[in-house]
Structure 1
Amino acid sequence: MQETHSTPKEQLLEAALMHVPFDGWSQATFDAAIADSGVEPTVAHSICPRGAVDLALAYHAQGDAMMLAQMAQADLDAMKYSDRVAAAVRFRLEAAEDKEAVRRGTTLFALPMYAPDGARAIWGTADAIWTALGDTSEDVNWYTKRATLSGVYSSTVLFWLGDTSDNHEDTWAFLDRRIGDVMQIEKFKAQVKASPVLSKLMAGPNWLLSHVKAPQRMPANDLPGRWTRP
């Protein structure tokens, strides 16, 4: 069997997770990770120029990768579409084995200077879920789907952090309610389209929104958009 070797960033992250519950995603944690992992300081600073902040983002990306792997193995085709979305969010939370690391990350990305990083990370998770589920929207729905799921995911994470129920059953019930709320919104949108009166009232906004297009695939740390000329 071929032996697999972790990258320097993976080594740093593994070492950092031992210190995060005590020192958070801080400089002290980053320094301890360098010492414990044996990664050369110059290498560590080159791959993580912002220190523990970059490790926190790597931890989030690692969770996304674990979620996608679980989605690939699960029989999602047998589920209703809303249940697939709920299952994906559940897989993502289950991938975060260290709740304290997530709690500390939430605190870090609540700081104004790092809030954009946190928002991009959450958006990236929502985008990964929709892409894995085969979303092919090319219009404004590309944005609304990801924005809505970002809100569902964020609120569920906060609930999960305080959940002490057995097997996080209260969290999964909370998640189902949030997905149900989203389905009600989609139902209302369908009713608007089906109503001649409401369709006329929404003609202007719908024309405007029809020119919003999904972004071209770009680096994961960017959130671009496109506008087509009428």
Structure 2
Amino acid sequence: MTTDPSFETGTDSADLRARLLQAALPHVVFDGWSQATFEAALNDSGINPDLASLACPRGAVDLAVEYHRQADARMRDALAQEDLSGMRFRDRVAHAIWLRLQLCDREIVRRGAALFALPQNAAIGARLVWETADSIWRALGDRSDDINWYTKRATLAAVWSSVVLYWLGDDSDGQQATRDFIDRRIDDVMRIETLKARLREAPLVGRMLSAPLQILSRIHAPWGTPEDLPGRLKGASK
């Protein structure tokens, strides 16, 4: 029987990735999320290369993923400590987006954007954008369990993507231009939601949409962990 080396040393993959990431960050601004950065992290951390390959089979790509997910986790923790009850909901979303930006280094994110723009990394890049949108909605108390679970995250994922691209090129004082950009994007979303509500209330449109809406009403949010991205039909077995 083969024994996992990480078990023998008393470390798990999450701990190894965290240690490698901390060692890699000073190198990312110079070499990007590259093999050179990964090797430098190995040298600086002193972690066994075999253990590192188990924790990060894709090398620096896995470290970039870890960086993104750590920022999502810090955002969720920070929002859990705040009292947002006095804010309008659209302002809570804007606050969460701005907070998430402030929890990462812009140059490191720039390097990550270049990495996930590569065709071979596009799928995981899209997944991370979705995860950030999901993290924001969950942190703000979203309890939707129908098609809205998907539409909310898809809409916010599009907003998040555009905000990050704008933020990367923002040289305004205090990055106020980015904050204004966030407000405009959220206002656009709110106008779309208002229009959708009015259309549903219109008698003719309501009759036209009744059959599609009945089908969509059978779609539910994923059960279990956030990794279960596909939806399920009501009554379907797990």
TM class, shorter-chain normalised? over 0.9
Take 2:228 and 2:32, find their aligned partners in 1: how far apart are those partners? 26
33, 37, 50: which one pairs with 1:25? 33
Q: Which residue of 1 aligns with 2:111?
A: 104
Cα RMSD (Å) of the superposition?
Answer: 1.6
Shift of 1:204: 2.4
Identity over aligned pairs, percent: 54
The alignment partner of 1:137 has SS state of coil
204, 214, 223: which one pairs with 1:197? 204
147, 152, 157: which one pairs with 2:159? 152
Q: Is the 8 A contact 1:120 1:221 kept in 2?
A: no
The alignment partner of 1:202 has SS state of helix
CA shift digits 1:52-101 (9 cap, x unpaired): 000000000111011112212222111101111111111110001x2111
CA shift digits 1:94-136 (9 cap, x unpaired): 001x211101111111111111101111111111111111111
Take 2:220 and 2:15, find their aligned partners in 1: how far apart are those partners? 37
7, 30, 44: which one pairs with 1:36? 44
Q: Which residue of 2 aligns with 1:223?
A: 229
Q: Which residue of 2 aligns with 1:3?
A: none
Shift of 1:222: 4.4
Q: Which residue of 2 aligns with 1:136?
A: 143
Shift of 1:221: 4.1
Residue 205 of structure 1 aligns with an amino acid whose one-letter code is P
Q: Which residue of 2 aligns with 1:168?
A: 175
Residue 62 of structure 2 aligns with an amino acid whose one-letter code is D
108, 115, 122: which one pairs with 2:122? 115
Q: Is the 8 A contact 2:222 2:228 kept in 1?
A: no
Q: Is the 8 A contact 2:56 2:63 kept in 1?
A: yes
Take 1:145 and 1:101, find their aligned partners in 2: how far apart are those partners? 28
Q: Is the 8 A contact 2:29 2:108 kept in 1?
A: yes
Take 2:56 and 2:148, find their aligned partners in 1: how far apart are those partners? 35
Take 1:28 and 1:156, find their aligned partners in 2: how far apart are those partners? 30
Q: Is the 8 A contact 1:86 1:175 kept in 2?
A: yes
Q: Which residue of 1 aligns with 2:15?
A: 7
Shift of 1:228: 3.3
Aligned residues: 223
Take 1:144 and 1:163, find their aligned partners in 2: how far apart are those partners? 28
Structure 2 unmatched ranges of 5 or more: 1-13
Q: Which residue of 1 aligns with 2:80?
A: 72
TM-score, length-normalised on structure 1? 0.93
Take 2:235 and 2:73, find their aligned partners in 1: how far apart are those partners? 37
Take 2:40 and 2:228, find their aligned partners in 1: how far apart are those partners? 31
Runs of 4+ in 1 over 4 A off after TM superposition: none
Query: Is 2:90 aligned against 1:90?
Result: no
